[in-house]
C-alpha cells in the first residue's frame, strides 16, 4: 500500500505541510478561508525540528494499529488499509494517543477530539496534500 | 468449527474479530446476560452526561453481528461450563455445545457489606448501561449524591453527575484519589481540580452506618444524600471457570495464547490475570485495550493460528472535568518529575529502561513513551534531554527513525 514517507535529510522544517494539511482537512475551499478570522484548523502532520535535522510525522497506517484495537468508542477503524477516525464517535479519551508508538495522533483541544491523517482519502484532495505542498520533495507518497 | 463466546464487550468483540481473521465460516455464538447490542462499557459515563448519544454508545455498527456471521443469545445467562461434555448450560436449562469456548465474563462491582445498606433509599453501582439508565431516571438538579470510592469509576460517575448540577460528596478509605494510576502529588493536583468544579471529598474514612438518607462516617461526620453510588472496586467473574475445574487465582489463569487450564477453553479481559511486562508481576489489567487485544489473540488461536499476547502493561488514558491523564507502566525506580500548574510529568527509570510515566495536562504524543516501555528501548540509545523534554521521535537514533517512520525493514 502507498504511504507517506519523509526524508529527514531533505526536510527544511518549513511547516508548509502542516499548514496545507490543516487547510485541506478544514473543509474550507482554500488556505486563506481555512485560516480566516483567527481560525486554527488542526494539522494531522507534525514537524519535529532539531539543530541539524527536521522531519514530519504522521500516521504510519501500521499493521499493528494499537490505536484501533484500543479505541474505547469504536471510533477508529481500518478501511482498505487506511486508519480512519469517525470524529462523531470519538469522545476524546486519548487512549489512541497513549497507544500510538509514533506520537502521530493529534489532539484537537478545542474540539475535545483527536484528529489523524487519513491520507486525504476523505477530503476533496484525494491524494495527500502534504506531499504536493512539500517544496523540497522531502515527503513522498509511495510503496515501500 | 463451532465457537461459543460468553460475554459481549471488548474481549468478546476482539475474539470475534480475531477468529474472523483466520476462519471466515466457522459458527460463532455470543451469549450475554445483558440485552444490548455490544456497547462500550467505558462510555456509560459519557452517555450519562449527554456527551454520547444512544446510537454512539455502541462499540460496533448495527450490522456487526450480521457482517461477522455471529448468532447472539442476549439476555441469557450461562450457569455452568461442562468441560468434559464441551457444552455450556444456560439458566433455562438448555445447553449450547462448543468446539472452542471463550470466557469473556468481565467483572462485577464489588459491594462490601456496610451497616444499614438495606435502608438506603436509592443505591446504585456504576458498571453497565442499565446502571446508568437507572441513575438517569432518578437524577435531578441539586440532588445530593454520595459516591463511595475515589477511583476511576467513582470519579467518572462524579463528573457525569456534575452535569446535572448534583451536589456530590466522594468518600474513600484511602487518603488520596486515583491511587491505582496516580502518585501522591498528581493525585493532589487532580483532587484540587475536581474540587474546583464543586465535588467534595472526605478521605481517609469510611461509612460506619447508613440510614435511608444519610451516612454516619467513622470520622464522626454525617453526609446526607438522595442517592448513593458504590464504586469501591470490581471483582472478576471467574466462577464459571473455577467451578469447571480451571485454575483461578485473583482472576482466571491463562497461558500466552489466552488458553485457560481447561482444554479448548480460553479467557480474555477483566476476568483474567495478565503478566505486567513493566513490573514483571502478574495482575489483573482491567483495561479496554488489554481486553480487546487478549480477545483478538485468543480468537486467532481458537481458529488455529498460533500467536501470543505479550508485552501487556498497565496503561490508562482518562480525563476528569477537562484535565487529562495518560499513565503507563510501573512507578518503582528513579524518578524525573516536572510540575507546572495542572501540568505534571513523572518519568520512572530502572535497569537502563523507561519503566513508567504519568502525564497530566499536556499528554501529547504520550504513546512514544508507552512504546519505549513495551519495547524495552535501551536508554543508552536515546537522547535523555529530549526524552525528558517531551515525547518525540527526535530522541531516537536515525536508524530507529528510518525503521519506524521510513518503512525501512531491518
Cβ of B12 under 8 Å from any chain A Cβ?
no
Q: Are strands B123-124 and B227-230 parallel, antiparallel or unpaired?
A: parallel
Domains of chain B, CATH where assigned = 2-107+235-302 (3.50.50.60), 117-230 (3.50.50.60), 323-405 (3.30.390)
* A93 contacts in chain B (CB < 8 Å): 42, 317-319
Residue B382 CA, chain-centre distance (Å), reads 32
For residue B380, the Cα-to-chain-centroid distance in whole angstroms is 34
Residue A127: its pLDDT value, please? 85
The pLDDT of residue A126 is above 90: no
**B309: pLDDT confidence band, cut at 50, 70 and 90?**
very high
Q: Answer yes or no: do A8 and B398 touch at CB < 8 A.
A: yes
Query: Between chains, do B324 and A94 touch, taking CB under 8 Å as contact?
Result: yes
Mean pLDDT over the full length of chain A:
94
**Which residue in chain B has the smallest CA separation from A107?**
B364
The residues of chain A that CATH labels 3.30.70.20 are: 61-116
Q: What is the pLDDT of residues B49-93, one digit of tens each?
A: 999 999 999 999 999 999 999 999 999 999 999 999 999 999 999
Query: pLDDT digit string (tens) for B211-231?
Result: 999 999 999 999 999 999 999
Q: Which of A6, A94, A144 sits opposite B326 (nearest CB)?
A: A94
Indicate if the pLDDT at residue A124 is higher than 90.
Answer: no
Asked if B402 and B408 touch (Cβ cutoff 8 Å), the reply is yes
Per-residue pLDDT of A17-68, as tens digits, reads 999 999 999 988 888 999 998 888 999 999 999 988 999 999 999 999 999 9
**Is A94 an interface residue toward B (CB < 8 Å)?**
yes
Percent over 70 (pLDDT), chain B = 100
pLDDT tier at B387, thresholds 50, 70, 90: very high
Orientation angle between helical segments B10-22 and B288-302, nearest 10 degrees? 30
Contact criterion met (CB below 8 Å) for B276 and B311 = no
B11 interfacial to chain A (CB closer than 8 Å): no
Q: Which of B241, B232, B209, B303 is nearest to B16 (CA)?
A: B303
Cα distance between residue B294 and residue B40, in whole Å: 17
- Please tell me the distance from the alpha carbon of residue B343 to that of residue B18, in angstroms, as a whole number: 39
From chain A, the residues in CB contact with B391 under 8 A are 103
The helix (H) or strand (E) run that includes residue B288 is helix B288-302
Distance between CA atoms of residues B214 and B225, nearest Å: 6
Facing B394 at nearest CB: one of A3, A6, A50: A50
Query: From 3.20.20.10, 3.40.30.10, 3.40.190.10, 3.30.70.20, which CATH number describes the A61-116 domain?
Result: 3.30.70.20
The pLDDT value recorded for residue B403 is 87
Do the interacting molecules here have an ipTM over 0.85? Answer: yes
Q: Is the dihedral of CA B63, B68, B71, B75 positive or negative?
A: negative
Q: Residue B70 pairs with which residues in a beta bridge?
A: B28
Closest CA to B225 of B217, B214, B216, B210: B214
Give residue for cell 499548514. A19
For B227-261, write each residue's pLDDT tens digit: 999 999 999 999 999 999 999 999 999 999 999 99
CB B347 within 8 A of CB B354: yes
Q: What is the mean pLDDT of chain B?
A: 97
pLDDT of amino acid B409: 67
Distances in Å between the Cα of A55 and the Cα atoms of A22, A61, B22, B24, B366 are 17, 18, 38, 41, 19
Q: How far is B163 from chain A (nearest CA, A)?
A: 16
Q: Cβ(B359)–Cβ(B326) under 8 Å?
A: yes
* Mutate: best of A13, A69, A84, A141, partner B, most B CBs <10 A: A69
Rounded mean pLDDT of B159-175? 97
Amino acid at each position: 500500500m502507498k504511504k507517506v514517507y519523509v526524508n529527514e535529510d531533505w526536510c527544511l522544517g518549513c511547516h508548509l505541510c502542516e499548514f496545507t494539511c490543516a487547510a485541506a482537512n478544514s473543509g474550507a475551499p482554500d488556505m486563506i478561508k481555512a485560516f480566516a478570522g483567527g481560525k486554527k484548523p488542526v494539522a494531522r502532520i507534525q514537524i519535529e525540528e532539531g539543530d541539524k535535522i527536521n522531519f514530519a510525522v504522521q500516521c504510519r497506517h501500521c499493521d499493528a494499529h494499537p490505536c484501533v484495537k484500543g479505541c474505547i468508542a469504536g471510533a477508529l477503524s481500518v478501511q482498505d488499509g487506511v486508519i480512519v477516525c469517525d470524529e462523531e464517535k470519538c469522545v476524546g479519551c486519548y487512549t489512541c494517543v497513549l497507544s500510538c508508538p509514533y506520537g502521530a495522533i493529534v489532539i484537537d483541544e478545542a474540539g475535545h477530539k483527536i484528529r489523524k491523517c487519513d491520507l486525504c482519502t476523505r477530503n476533496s484532495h484525494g491524494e495527500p496534500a502534504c506531499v504536493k505542498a512539500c517544496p523540497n520533495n522531502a515527503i513522498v507518497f509511495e510503496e515501500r | 468449527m463451532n465457537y461459543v463466546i460468553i460475554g459481549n464487550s471488548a474481549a468478546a468483540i476482539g475474539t470475534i474479530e480475531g477468529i474472523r481473521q483466520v476462519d471466515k465460516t466457522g459458527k460463532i455464538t455470543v451469549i450475554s446476560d445483558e440485552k444490548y447490542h455490544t456497547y462500550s462499557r467505558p462510555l456509560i459515563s459519557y452517555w450519562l452526561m449527554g456527551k454520547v448519544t444512544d446510537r454512539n454508545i455502541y462499540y460496533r455498527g448495527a450490522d456487526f453481528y450480521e457482517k461477522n456471521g455471529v448468532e447472539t443469545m442476549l439476555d441469557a445467562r450461562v450457569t455452568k461450563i461442562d468441560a468434559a461434555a464441551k457444552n455450556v448450560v444456560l439458566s433455562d436449562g438448555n445447553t449450547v455445545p462448543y468446539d472452542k469456548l471463550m470466557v469473556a465474563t468481565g467483572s462485577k462491582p464489588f459491594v462490601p457489606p456496610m451497616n444499614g445498606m438495606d435502608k438506603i433509599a436509592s443505591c446504585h453501582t456504576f458498571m453497565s448501561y442499565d446502571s446508568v439508565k437507572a441513575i438517569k431516571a432518578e437524577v435531578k438538579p441539586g440532588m445530593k449524591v454520595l459516591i463511595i470510592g475515589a477511583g476511576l469509576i467513582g470519579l467518572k460517575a462524579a463528573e457525569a453527575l456534575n452535569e446535572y448540577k448534583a451536589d456530590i460528596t466522594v468518600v474513600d478509605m484511602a487518603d488520596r484519589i486515583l491511587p491505582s494510576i496516580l502518585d501522591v502529588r498528581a493525585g493532589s493536583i487532580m483532587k484540587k481540580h475536581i474540587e474546583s468544579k464543586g465535588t467534595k471529598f472526605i478521605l481517609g474514612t469510611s461509612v460506619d452506618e447508613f440510614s435511608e438518607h444519610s451516612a454516619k462516617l467513622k470520622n464522626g461526620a454525617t453526609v446526607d444524600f438522595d442517592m448513593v453510588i458504590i464504586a469501591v472496586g470490581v471483582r472478576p467473574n471467574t466462577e464459571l471457570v473455577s467451578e469447571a475445574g480451571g485454575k483461578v487465582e485473583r482472576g482466571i489463569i491463562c497461558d500466552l495464547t489466552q488458553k485457560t487450564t481447561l482444554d479448548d477453553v480460553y479467557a480474555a479481559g477483566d476476568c483474567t490475570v495478565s503478566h505486567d511486562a513493566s513490573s514483571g508481576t502478574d495482575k489483573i489489567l482491567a483495561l479496554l485495550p488489554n481486553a480487546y487485544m487478549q480477545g483478538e489473540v485468543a480468537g486467532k488461536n481458537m481458529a488455529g493460528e498460533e500467536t501470543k499476547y505479550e508485552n501487556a502493561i498497565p496503561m490508562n488514558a482518562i480525563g476528569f472535568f477537562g484535565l487529562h491523564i495518560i499513565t503507563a507502566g510501573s512507578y518503582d525506580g528513579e524518578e524525573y518529575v516536572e510540575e507546572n500548574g495542572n501540568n505534571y510529568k513523572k518519568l520512572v527509570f530502572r535497569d537502563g529502561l523507561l519503566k513508567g510515566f504519568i502525564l497530566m495536562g499536556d499528554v501529547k504524543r504520550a504513546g512514544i513513551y508507552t512504546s519505549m516501555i513495551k519495547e524495552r528501548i535501551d536508554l543508552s540509545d536515546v537522547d535523555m534531554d529530549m526524552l525528558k523534554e517531551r515525547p518525540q521521535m527526535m530522541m531516537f537514533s536515525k536508524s530507529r527513525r528510518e525503521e519506524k517512520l521510513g518503512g525501512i525493514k531491518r
